Structure 1
Amino acid sequence: MGNDKRTVLITGFGPFGEHSVNVSWVAVQNLKRRNLLPDVNVHIEEIPVDYQEVSQIVTELWEMEDPLLMVHVGVSDFVNKITLEQRAHNTGYYLKDIKGKTPNKECCREEGEECICAGLDMSRVSAEINNADNELQAEVSYAKTGRYLCDFVYYISLSINKSRSAFIHVPPLNQPYTEDQLGEGVAVAIFAMLKQLPK
């Protein structure tokens, strides 16, 4: 019976800068540990804040797992809600990763389109979170990924399958949400996204 479940692949990032423990990975692990999405096969993966490795790992995950949905989770000091990114960008990656490097030509995919919008309607996902019986709040963003690994990883997935890719930003821990609330917020968002996909 369990083998009939479709796979949802969720990534969180490893440490970088002042984030010695990346809250995105904490939230993803919390969701998995508490089995908050029991009707799907949840596969989680921690990915490094490294342009070259991210590009290779995410492409391989798509090829190996063929997930129904690929959801990337990142932390942002600039958000205080569950923030759903609607699009990602191809160029302008001048910020250095944990190895002190930038991608070739500061670009994600050479000759790729400058901006890719997700096929999922993030405003519908946001509304479901805001209308749910919890203390979580959500918003849709078109630019908060910034030109760093969050935007970079999202663009890779959108370029592979924009109908089944998503990016969720979470705020730092206890600003204002606990670890459990962050796990629940990501789970509610993913559940809402799955409603938009063919079964």
Structure 2
Amino acid sequence: MHTVLLTGFEPFDKDPINPSWEAVRRLDGVQLSEDAQIVARQLPCAFATVGACLTQMIDELRPTMVIATGLGPGRSAISVERVAINVNDARIPDNLGEQPVDTPVLADGPAAYFSTLPIKAMVKAVHEAGIAASVSQTAGTFVCNQVFYLLQHALAGTGVRSGFIHVPYLPEQVVDTGQPSMALLTMVEGLRVAVCAAWETGVDLAETGGQVS
């Protein structure tokens, strides 16, 4: 049986829930094919410990594919990330109170890693399911980007495809704030469709997903 590891984050910044984990945990055990299923795991929102947790999960599960997810405040769509950069620049402290500024994720690592997922095919599939989705050109500079970078570094050259998806707030998190959100059931279905497309697509689509600015 092939395992697709799907991760979400614990709550952070004094919020009682994190939509990435709320959505991901509902996909635990979902079959992608006769010989492949999703295994959901939660990651800590902490620069100092998240790398070791991610490594432990990969060593334990030996997944065929890994997709990490996180909250993207202010986003209105399922955002499939293109690139992780080698910098930590935290706007707020993490859950251990750490707030690195302009430090590398890995001192000797390359400037960036690209997703090895079929990001355009994933976005198209989610669109076709009637759910908002887009290719994102930045995963930020907080723990989400760190996880994305460490994931790509760990799996580089292994043949295990991997990447990162940001999800919006849940409606109950942004009442009276005017910030965009997405219903939980919509988010769950969007992630399921995206993961299925990633699993089923060997060569990505050659169509635009860029931005002017």
Q: TM-score, normalised by structure 1?
A: 0.86
Task: Give unmatched runs, 5+ long, in structure 1.
Answer: none
Deviation at 1:196?
Answer: 2.8
Report the CA distance between 1:114 and its aligned residue.
0.9
Give identity over the alignment, percent.
26
Offset of 1:91 from its aligned partner? 1.5
- The counterpart of 1:26, out of the listed 18, 22, 33, is 22
Counterpart code for 2:195: I
- Letter aligned with residue 17 of structure 1: D
Code of the residue aligned with 1:154 in structure 2: it is F
What do you get for the CA RMSD once the two structures are aligned?
2.1
What is residue 42 of structure 1 aligned with on the other side? 38
Give the conservation status (yes or no) of the 8 Å contact 1:36–1:184.
no
Distance in 2 separating the partners of 1:47 and 1:81: 22
Alignment of 1:110-125 (within 5 A): 110-125=107-122
* Cα deviation, residue 193, structure 1: 0.6
Instruction: Give the structure with the larger helix fraction.
Output: 1
TM-score under structure 2 normalisation?
Answer: 0.81
Match of 1:158 in 2: 152
Aligned to 1:146: 140
Q: CA separation in 1, counterparts of 2:183 and 2:33?
A: 21
Query: 1:52·1:103 contact (CA, 8 Å) conserved in 2?
Result: no
- Correspondence for 2:55: 59
Q: Distance in 2 between matches of 1:73 and 1:118?
A: 13
- 2:77, 2:90 → 1: CA distance? 27
2: CA distance, partners of 1:36 / 1:137: 23
Q: Equivalent of 1:15, from 11, 14, 32?
A: 11
Q: Shift of the alpha carbon at 1:107?
A: 1.9
1:45-68 CA-to-partner distances (Å, cap 9, x unmatched) read 111111121010111212221111
Distance 2:64 2:80 in 1: 18
